[in-house]
Structure 1
Amino acid sequence: MNSTEYIHTNNDKKNISMIAQFPPPIHGLSKAVDTIYHSYLKKEYNFEKIDITNNKLFFFNLFKIWKSKADTCYFTISQSKGGNIRDLVILHFIIRRKKKSIVHLHGGYFGQLVESMNKFQKKFNYKYLKKVDAVIVLSESLKSNFQNIVENNRIHIVSNCVDDEFLISDEEFKVKKEVLKSQKVYRVLYLSNFIESKGYRKVLEMANIEKKLCEKGKLKKFHFDFAGKFFDSKDEKIFLNYIKEKNLEEYITYHGVVTGNKKRELLKKCSIFILLTTYQIEGQPISIIEAMGNGLFIITTKHAGIPDIVVNGKNGLIFEKSCEVVSVYEEMKNITPTLYYQIMLNNREECLNYYTESNYLNNIKEIFDLN
């Protein structure tokens, strides 16, 4: 398939060029873009797909942007210095062609990135971003990424969502609530890419703490499920060797990359979601929202836009980024069944009220219509 593709053409509808990273690979940004592209919105607008994932197609994509007949360009920007140079060139072309422009930031590091740039690159970011028509960020605190660059009235908040396919039904949730009341072993889920700063090694250590306690006669309380993609085969080997060397096979299940029904079933049977992230370019992890929608208790860190959606004691436990593994494990071990149950209800309700796929798409549509 060509990197540029129209999926619908109707001269009575607004033409929108989606200049973005599409799957594969699957990560928060590409998944969010893909949700828009394959939604009901493709019937509302004429979407043009320009996939900028492969930098080898940079000049080809520039040509397509220059020749595009789109009224509006929807553009997801990078959070690296090299990627930003590419983005500045793309913004230059969009502005020169006098297109309406919507910039979408899927992260929380962009402001720091700009401030760390040399004078020349920083100047051009200010120059071009001041000319865009709208900027989208994931939560209130992430608006600061564009402080003194973009006027506040042009910055819009659109939270991520849980796609409908990964949200269990009300009947399934009812069953899950009943199971929780008599549950003895809680399944703890790490569902994210296997990047060290996402905290997966800390979760491994927690599984080892659990095993040592069980060997001392304590009843088993947790089983740890890991799912996601390794980008380095050496890291995967270290992970699997740790499980083998520590004899953690009884305490850990490694699922690899999960999609579709397999991912849905995993979210359904797990009770706790854990992401002790310090990932530099973190924004608002979709995996947290998916977990909330399926009634999981959230354990995470005060990082990026996470405190905007996770409140300690209401949605789960939220720790400082410097948290110690033993402390996290101890607090998790001491959660009462009553608190588990209440937070399960809180998270399900909050997700259905604010983080559904329909809410996300309607918010995006409102911005598309304004621009």
Structure 2
Amino acid sequence: MNMKNYMNNKSKILFIMHMPPPVHGAAMMGKYIHDSQVINQAFDCRYFNLTLAKNLQDIGKGGIRKFKDFIRQLWNIRKEVKAFQPDLCYVTPNAKGGAFYKDFVVVMMLKAMRQKVVIHYHNKGIATRQHKFLDNFLYRNFFKNLKVILLAEPLYQDISKYVKRENVSICPNGIPTNEIIPLKTSHPNFNILFLSNMMKEKGVWDLVEACRLLKKEGKKFHCDFVGKWSDITETDFYSRIQEDGLEQYITAHGAKYGDEKNAFFQKTDLFVFPTYYNNECFPLVLLEAMEQGIACISTNEGGISAIIQEGKTGYIVKKQEPQILAGKIEYLIDHPDICQRMGQTGKDRFDHEFTLDKFENQISKILKTIIFQDK
């Protein structure tokens, strides 16, 4: 078949990726790819769900059930490859630990079957393990002859020991746009919002401490915590709030979705996400806040510095430094005009770079380039 005839046919891609549940960034992007008209029209697609975890706490853990499910996965992937004969296998692997060892086997099996493979990272941690003899040996073999997609340029340092920059493509995540975003409701207080799973590593206690410091300074504000209870329980949370005398300043609402979640964005002046979660790469919740025209404060974790423009759309603060966090919040409480301006700049940046259609078109372009390389 000549190149012209080849390009008139849809290339075949087997997407081996994580999809919900559980709900996290990688799984949501997997769902967006699965449902994308742009991608499904551009390629002949088949999908295989790589997820073994039942919830966020289960990610990276082992067990007999998982081992049996994994053996079944390998068998089914092998059958699918033989039947479908894809032009490209797209895999969203884990970066470290037991989950990496599992995905190492998947990718090496695909290589043994002479498949062209691209991996798309939604997590990180390779640099923290590369000094270990076994992991270093496995990484060297794993990354050989692979193309890699990363969410942001700062994440390249995590794989730079094993992958040349020329073999890396950058594709920021995007999210669906709200067709109609109502005007923000008026409110007397300066409203702060945290929206994520209620986990220590998401910075929940750091924001609580920052609120205590703001109260001590006599600042008027209210902080809403929205998210599923996790390693922080509702009992522990409210015990801490009462201990710090913050009952009038902080309210936790549990998990909210759809219109209920949007209602919190509508009354928010500032979004704060002081995460130090070890798998944090490109939090979609920051994109949600930016779309709503809300200034954001977060940390220099993963690729967050590629989302928030320091001093323009918000601030990036040191991890686990609630006093510094409180200082930035206090400044924006005292300068609401600057806070609003940052929110509008963030909204403009979202529209230009982080919509789902931008992601779909960019990932399609990258995949086409990889498929036709070496043809």
TM-score (norm 2): 0.84
Write the distance in 2 (CA, Å) between the matches of 1:110 and 1:196: 22
Residue 230 of structure 1 corresponds to 229
Q: Comparing 294-303 with 11-20, which one deviates more in the overlay?
A: 11-20
Which structure 2 residue ranges, 5 or more long, are not aligned?
1-7, 53-65
Residue 270 of structure 2 corresponds to 272
Deviation at 1:139, TM superposition (A): 0.8
Task: Flag the 1:296–1:47 CA change in 2: closer, same or farther, 3 A.
Answer: same
The residue correspondences of 1:142-221 to structure 2 (distance < 5 A) are 142-164=155-177, 167=178, 169=180, 172=182, 175-176=183-184, 184-212=188-216, 218=218, 221=220
Instruction: Kindly indicate whether the alpha-carbon contact (under 8 Å) linking 2:203 and 2:320 is maintained by their aligned counterparts in 1.
Output: no
Q: Given the alignment of the two structures, is residue 365 of structure 1 paired with residue 369 of structure 2, yes or no?
A: no
Instruction: Kindly indicate whether the alpha-carbon contact (under 8 Å) linking 2:269 and 2:340 is maintained by their aligned counterparts in 1.
Output: no
The equivalent position to 2:104 in structure 1, one of 72, 88, 106, is: 88
Instruction: Kindly indicate whether the alpha-carbon contact (under 8 Å) linking 1:168 and 1:264 is maintained by their aligned counterparts in 2.
Output: no
Instruction: Kindly indicate whether the alpha-carbon contact (under 8 Å) linking 1:109 and 1:282 is maintained by their aligned counterparts in 2.
Output: no
Residue 254 of structure 1 corresponds to 252
Aligned residue for 1:299, secondary structure, equals strand
Task: Flag the 1:251–1:168 CA change in 2: closer, same or farther, 3 A.
Answer: farther
Aligned residue for 2:223, secondary structure, equals strand
Write the distance in 2 (CA, Å) between the matches of 1:189 and 1:210: 15
Q: Given the alignment of the two structures, is residue 101 of structure 1 paired with residue 114 of structure 2, yes or no?
A: no
The equivalent position to 2:301 in structure 1, one of 303, 306, 310, is: 303
Instruction: Kindly indicate whether the alpha-carbon contact (under 8 Å) linking 1:168 and 1:268 is maintained by their aligned counterparts in 2.
Output: no
The C-alpha deviation readout for 1:25-50, integer Å capped at 9, x for no partner, is 11111111111111212333333222
Residue 341 of structure 2 corresponds to 342
Aligned residue for 1:288, secondary structure, equals helix
Write the distance in 2 (CA, Å) between the matches of 1:275 and 1:155: 28
TM-score (norm 1): 0.85
Deviation at 1:351, TM superposition (A): 0.5
Q: Given the alignment of the two structures, is residue 116 of structure 1 paired with residue 141 of structure 2, yes or no?
A: no
User: In the alignment, residue 202 of structure 2 is paired with which amino acid?
Assistant: K
Instruction: Kindly indicate whether the alpha-carbon contact (under 8 Å) linking 2:318 and 2:324 is maintained by their aligned counterparts in 1.
Output: no
Write the distance in 2 (CA, Å) between the matches of 1:35 and 1:283: 17
User: In the alignment, residue 274 of structure 1 is paired with which amino acid?
Assistant: V
Write the distance in 1 (CA, Å) between the matches of 2:10 and 2:109: 23
Aligned residue for 1:334, secondary structure, equals helix
Tell me the matched-pair count: 342
The C-alpha deviation readout for 1:86-111, integer Å capped at 9, x for no partner, is 11100111111122211011134223
Residue 63 of structure 2 corresponds to none
The C-alpha deviation readout for 1:212-241, integer Å capped at 9, x for no partner, is 55xxxx4x6321111222333x63431133
Instruction: Kindly indicate whether the alpha-carbon contact (under 8 Å) linking 2:189 and 2:222 is maintained by their aligned counterparts in 1.
Output: yes
Residue 333 of structure 1 corresponds to 330
User: In the alignment, residue 101 of structure 1 is paired with which amino acid?
Assistant: V
Deviation at 1:168, TM superposition (A): 6.3
Deviation at 1:322, TM superposition (A): 4.6
Residue 66 of structure 1 corresponds to 78
Write the distance in 1 (CA, Å) between the matches of 2:265 and 2:360: 23
Instruction: Kindly indicate whether the alpha-carbon contact (under 8 Å) linking 1:296 and 1:344 is maintained by their aligned counterparts in 2.
Output: yes
What is the percent sequence identity of the aligned residues?
27
Instruction: Kindly indicate whether the alpha-carbon contact (under 8 Å) linking 2:312 and 2:342 is maintained by their aligned counterparts in 1.
Output: yes
Residue 142 of structure 2 corresponds to 128
Task: Flag the 1:146–1:265 CA change in 2: closer, same or farther, 3 A.
Answer: same
Q: Which runs of 4+ in 1 moved over 6 A?
A: none
The equivalent position to 1:137 in structure 2, one of 134, 144, 150, is: 150
Deviation at 1:247, TM superposition (A): 5.2
Write the distance in 2 (CA, Å) between the matches of 1:351 and 1:39: 19
